[in-house]
Amino acid sequence: KKAGVANKKEAAPNKAGKPAKKTKKASKKGPTKKYTAATADKHQLYQLSVQDPESEVDWITKLYTIAYGRVAVTLREDFCGTAFLAAYWLKTSQYRRAIGIDLDLPTLEWGKKHVLADLDEPGNRLQLLHQNVLEPVATKSHI
């Protein structure tokens, strides 16, 4: 036996004297994506574990309508990161616009590639700004 494998069971040899091949058990659930430290994407994991844009947009829309008696059109997302919320905001109505602001340029670029590419948004309704959220922005927003 090799060092460090003392408790490992070896497969019984077949009739030809060769070790038997191990067979994989069939999964009842079907194929699943396995996340490991080497393969996981931190932005995708953040979206899956922390963000829920569907319920956030629903809640924001209801609250704004109750408070102001009209529908919100423009959303400003401070610390937008991948602009996941802003992108969903645009998907809910062709009349909506969004402004996303973040300091982290690599995260903004990831969002453009992975989130905004699905929108086919040429930049008419979404403005992404690489700046501090405390700096003034010319465009006003409802939310």
pLDDT digits (tens, 9 = 90+) for 85-126: 999 999 999 999 999 999 999 999 999 998 888 787 767 899
Give the integer Cα–Cα distance in Å for 114 and 112.
6
Give the integer Cα–Cα distance in Å for 126 and 29.
39
Joined tokens for residue 131: 């700046």
Q: Which is nearest to 43 in space by CA: 125, 102, 122, 97?
A: 102
Q: Please list the pLDDT of the chain residue by residue as tens digits (143 residues).
A: 444 444 444 455 555 555 555 555 544 555 566 777 778 888 887 777 888 999 999 999 999 999 999 999 999 999 999 999 999 999 999 999 999 999 999 999 999 998 888 787 767 899 999 999 999 999 899 99
Give the integer Cα–Cα distance in Å for 24 and 28.
12
Joined tokens for residue 128: 């992404």
Q: Which is nearest to 89 in space by CA: 64, 107, 67?
A: 64
- The two most distant CA atoms of the chain are separated, in Å, by 81
Give the integer Cα–Cα distance in Å for 143 and 74.
6
Give the integer Cα–Cα distance in Å for 119 and 115.
8
